[in-house]
Amino acid sequence: MMANNSIMFITWIILFHQFKEINGWGVGHMMLMEGIVVGAYSIYAFCFRGVAEVLAGQIERGELDTFILQPRNILLNLAGSRSHPAALGDVITGFVFLFWSGMTTFQTLPLILLSVIVGFLTFLSLGIFVGSLAFYMKDVEGWGQQIINIFIHVGNQPGSIYTGDVRLFLTFVFPVGLITFMPIEMITNPTFSGIFAFVGLIAMFFSASIWFFYRGLKRYESGNIFGVRG
């Protein structure tokens, strides 16, 4: 993963060497953003990747019964049921990108840590939402992870390229903005209103994903493992 992330970023270094800026963003902005994205995804993948890779399949095969019968929180138990050890490589490269950006200081560090936490919750919220679609649709397992991959791909582009209606869509519908342009703008030009909007948006998305899961779980009651395999 360290090699993969490094090779990917070399292409951006070459591009910024040629063009210097992309709509106001330099290589430092891009490196800071990559550090936040990689750091956020590494926490999600290492601790809670079961949401995207496991949840939909377990719902479709009627395998939630074991989790429902346990006294633990069912969503937390499902989310933590699988991890991805390769994400440790993301942790290391994430730190490298953050400190090489030249924008990590004692003043900006709290906002950078906040951005990584918000990014992690963004990936987790999307994973919960995608996995929970299996309560309402069939064959979600096959393409659910692809949505996560698309999210990562869009999130690896310079946030400054998103403007107008695309920017609104990536802020309020498909929240890539929470890991791209919003944290960079908050860190480089911090305001109380910007921080409040940043935290408020992730609180809204995270709450909505939990509500969506438990609403779908009510539909699962009539299609448990006994009915599926009986």
Q: Which tens digit of pLDDT belongs to each residue from 145-191?
A: 788 888 888 888 888 899 899 999 999 999 999 999 999 999 999 99
Domain count, the chain: 1
Average pLDDT over residues 39-55: 81
Let me know if residue 214 belongs to a domain.
Answer: yes
State residue 222 phi and psi, 5-degree precision.
-95, 5
Let me know if residue 27 belongs to a domain.
Answer: yes
Nearest 5°: the CA angle 117, 123, 124 is: 85
Question: So what's the pLDDT on residue 86?
Answer: 65
Question: So what's the pLDDT on residue 15?
Answer: 79
Per-residue tokens: 184? 């960079």
Answer whether residue 112 shows pLDDT above 90: yes
β-bridge mates for residue 25, sequence order? 22
Let me know if residue 229 belongs to a domain.
Answer: no
Range of the structural domain that residue 117 is part of: 2-224
Residues contacting residue 121 through CB under 8 Å, at least 6 positions apart: 202, 205, 206
Per-residue tokens: 81? 């049921």
Answer whether residue 77 shows pLDDT above 90: no
Question: So what's the pLDDT on residue 1?
Answer: 66
Answer whether residue 228 shows pLDDT above 70: no
